[in-house]
Amino acid sequence: MSSTRTLGPFQVSPIGLGCMNLSHAYGQPPAFEQAERLLLQALDEGVTLFDTAALYGFGANETLVGQVLAKHRQKFVLASKCGMQGVQFSDGIRRVIDGRPATLRATCEDSLRRLQTDVIDLYYLHRWDKQVPIEESVGALGDLVHAGKIRSVGLSEVSAATLRRANAEFQITALQTEYSLWTRNPEIAVLDACRDLGVAFVAFSPLARGFLPGTLGSVDGLDAKDIRRAMPRFTPGNHATNLALLNGLREVAAEAGCSLAQLSLAWLLHRAPHIIPIPGTTSAEHLSENLGALAVNLSAAQMAKLDALMPSNAAAGARYNSINQTEVDTEDF
């Protein structure tokens, strides 16, 4: 397995780091000192792709990444996202999807300031604002490339058809969406479209939001603000059903001499050379464990067994609830 993978004009580590967990989504985030140690550990252990977004912590995650990593800026590829961010209303900050060119330009300036950098290497449209033609939003991002504010353009949670429309407007470097053993939707069309267009596929939640490592246990103890509480797969009934899926995976992991987390990441790395998973974590131990997946070699027979154990319809429950599902453009089984 190659020591790097191609991300547009960049060569990056085959496994990147999703930084969201350090500020957002899974309950109380870690203290600054712990988050700082984890980011620097990732850099020391060879991670060269760091992924954040304006949405995460409503700017807090970009601020964290900027404070910790700005002095190491030449050592890694920096990815962030626009088009979905927190907006202050009279009753507090709410998440808003807004893909209008003026908003994207303003968000980029805010991100550059928080990240303490002159240029963002890869800037994704976090969600396609369906009130704005994809060509209009992507054209605005292309203008940011020409202006030297960003180096390349990405898309998140879009279909193959939308990717092709966007790529006709401006070269897309990467498409990011959820992909793991229990979320196989990208196999419908997006993976092939990325390959055909020379677009990297960045897999977020490659460990199924903490499910695949087998350490989650009961969902009853999840923090009140944990986003998984609103996800159908993590309702107590569906979660109990899904836990049975891990039994077969444990057998393959034992045969391969690795953990469940390493097996899950190795499966992705073996699927295709244009796939780059970006697991997130707040744990130094889990970070090292995840990167250990690079040393796991899976045979064709083991890959086939994993596909049989976790087919497209294996997981009980939908990926998103009905409201969040309307916000994405991905194909569904």
> Is it the case that residue 205 has pLDDT exceeding 80?
yes
Strands 172-178 and 153-156, sheet pairing? parallel
* Burial class of residue 331, CB neighbours in 10 A (0-12, 13-18, 19+): middle
26 flagged as catalytic = no
pLDDT of residue 97: 97
List of residues 6+ apart from 281 with CB closer than 8 A: 21, 38, 287, 290
* Tens digit of each residue's pLDDT (9 = 90 or more) over 129-164: 999 999 999 999 999 999 999 999 999 999 999 999
What is the model's pLDDT at position 235? 96
* 169, 138 Cβ separation under 8 angstroms: yes
Q: CB-based contacts of 278: which residues, under 8 Å, 6+ apart?
A: 15, 16, 17, 18, 49, 51, 176, 202, 203, 204, 206
What one-character-per-residue DSSP string does 102-145 give? HHHHHHHHHHHHHHT-S-BSEEEESS--TTS-HHHHHHHHHHHH
In a 13 Å sphere around the CA of 329, the CA atoms on its Cβ side amount to 24
Q: What integer pLDDT is reported at residue 89 of this predicted model?
A: 85
Copy the structure tokens of residue 140. 């605005």
Tally of CA atoms within 13 A in the half-sphere of 332 that contains its CB: 9
User: Mean pLDDT in the chain?
Assistant: 96
Q: Let me know: does 18 contact 263? Beta carbons within 8 Å.
A: no
The domains found in the chain, sorted by start residue, are: 5-209+265-296 (3.20.20.100)
The predicted structure's pLDDT at residue 293: 98
Cα–Cα distance between 298 and 271 in angstroms, integer? 10
CB 22 within 8 A of CB 35: yes
pLDDT band at 23 (very low <50, low <70, confident <90, very high): very high
d(CA 302, CA 300) in angstroms, rounded, equals: 5
Q: Which of 56, 123, 124, 179 is catalytic?
A: 56
pLDDT score of 98 more than 90 = yes
| 317 has pLDDT over 90 | yes
Q: For position 24, what pLDDT does the model report?
A: 87
Q: What is the pLDDT of residue 204?
A: 98
* pLDDT per residue as tens digits for the range 71-94: 999 999 999 999 998 888 878 888
Please tell me the least confidently modeled range out of 79-93, 285-299, 315-329. 79-93
Q: Which residues pair with 200 in a beta bridge?
A: 174
CB-neighbour burial class of residue 89 (10 A; exposed 0-12, middle 13-18, buried 19+) = exposed
Q: Is residue 173 pLDDT above 80, yes or no? A: yes
Position 217 confidence tier, pLDDT thresholds 50, 70, 90: confident
The predicted-structure confidence for 5-21, as pLDDT tens digits, reads as follows 999 999 999 999 999 99
Confidence band for 47, pLDDT divided at 50, 70 and 90? very high
Nearest to 124 by CA among 186, 62, 68, 183: 62
Bridge partners of residue 92, in order along the sequence: 89
